[in-house]
Amino acid sequence: MFARVVRGIAAAAVALVSLGAFASPALGAPRPITMDVLIGDSCVSGFAKPGTVVKVTIKDPSGNVVGTDAMLSGSDGSWFGCEGIFADALAAGNRIKVFDYDTNQTLNYTIPRITLSVNRVTNVVSGHAPAGMRLTLEAADFNAPLFGQDPYDVVKHLTVGAAGTYSHNFSNDGVDLMAGAQLEVRTRTADRAVTTRRDLVVPGLFVNIDQASFGGYMQPFQHLGIKLTINGAKVATGDGVGDFSGQVQSEFVDALGEPYRLKGGEMLTAPALAISFTVPKIAGAVDKATDRVSGTCFRNGAYVVLAGDLGFANGTAGVAGHFSVDMSEQMDLRRGDEVLIACFTRTGDVVEQDIIVQ
């Protein structure tokens, strides 16, 4: 997901020459074993000597074995090992031992407590970690041009304070964290043998006109509560809990527990995501004679139109939310073609409507 810096060929060649001239015994040293840990996942991975036998043992914070794996590392030295199918996801306190039978190298590691949260209104990313720990915090979003912004991939290096907390305001970097942006915090042990990561998608909600189903992202394992009202009267609710990556999939239901299809015009509130807006009806329309697609989104809000297999247009709706876009240079819209209209809030939430050209 995130880019990694790779050394140049020339630099590698110089290093090899130096080793051959001044440190030839090191050429026979085995490749140091490494490990990558993603908090919230169920597996760990890494690199070792190619074709070597690697054993992984994972214990929970109480010392109970929750996973063992033994495998041959790949031709590139890669290996991975997983917990048992019924074990909790990897979290602070899990102990991991990796042993290389061929080289007798061993890694013993206890996962530290590293948390990650975001306020998409203030653009502040924060969390807890051991005091003094050095962290790399990264934010990336390549959909930003939809909102008239440049794509970004910003990396910041932080040191955890004495109270065991860290934070960074990405507004200082000219970044507006919107729904769907990718966040990662990571740290490495002093010998660089173990990298520990935690990932998070900036929370947001994605709903569909004429559908009960909805999706989105929120803080992992936290509760989502959505209420839909019309003229102050509750007509439906939506609920769910984010998985380890924060992803949520659910449906709106009415007072009888039956699916409620979003109509547009409802007031949608979701306190857990600091969301409150009136759902646009969109009322998407296609003029086959002129290949124009029109509809109504949020006032002065971004919109996207996808038509058929290749048609794409985006822009900003007017002060009343109306838009109309000419697709004739891209395609000839015909009966049966599918057109998707997506309306975006200022924080990146999405209201969609799928229509079939009649």
Contact assessment for residue 44 and residue 90, using Cβ atoms and an 8 Å cutoff: yes
Cα angle 264, 267, 272 (rounded to 5 degrees) comes to 120
Identity of the amino acid at 57? T
Whole-number Å distance between alpha carbons of 216 and 207 = 8
Whole-number Å distance between alpha carbons of 281 and 302 = 15
Whole-number pLDDT of residue 29: 66
Across the beta sheet with 34-38, the strand order is 78-82, 43-47, 34-38, 194-201, 182-188, 134-141, 152-159
Whole-number Å distance between alpha carbons of 312 and 329 = 11
Contact assessment for residue 240 and residue 250, using Cβ atoms and an 8 Å cutoff: yes
Q: Is 241 helix (H, G, I), strand (E, B) or coil?
A: strand
Identity of the amino acid at 250? S
User: How many C-beta neighbours within 10 Å does residue 189 have?
Assistant: 14
Whole-number Å distance between alpha carbons of 218 and 294 = 31
Find the Cα–Cα–Cα–Cα dihedral 27, 30, 32, 34, rounded to 10°: 130
The mean pLDDT of 174-186, rounded to a whole number, is 94
**Chain segment 128-153, per-residue pLDDT in tens:** 999 999 999 999 998 877 776 789 99
**Chain segment 239-296, per-residue pLDDT in tens:** 988 887 789 999 999 999 999 999 999 999 999 888 999 999 999 999 999 999 999 9
Whole-number Å distance between alpha carbons of 141 and 135 = 20
DSSP E strands: which ranges in 254-307? 267-270, 275-278, 282-287, 292-296, 302-307
Whole-number pLDDT of residue 223: 86
Q: Which two tokens stand for residue 161?
A: 């304070």
Whole-number Å distance between alpha carbons of 223 and 50 = 44
Q: DSSP assignment, residue 146?
A: G
Whole-number Å distance between alpha carbons of 350 and 147 = 12
**Chain segment 55-68, per-residue pLDDT in tens:** 999 999 999 999 99
Q: Which two tokens stand for residue 292?
A: 């124009």
The pTM of this model reads 0.81
Q: What's the number of CA atoms in the CB half-sphere (13 Å) around residue 229?
A: 10
Q: Which residues pair with 262 in a beta bridge?
A: none
**Chain segment 155-164, per-residue pLDDT in tens:** 999 999 999 9
- The span from the first CA to the last CA of the chain, in angstroms, equals 40
Q: DSSP assignment, residue 178?
A: -
Whole-number pLDDT of residue 77: 95
**Chain segment 222-253, per-residue pLDDT in tens:** 888 999 999 999 999 999 888 877 899 999 99
Which residues, other chains included, contact 340 with Cβ-Cβ below 8 Å and sequence gap of 6+? 304, 305, 306, 307, 352, 353, 354, 355
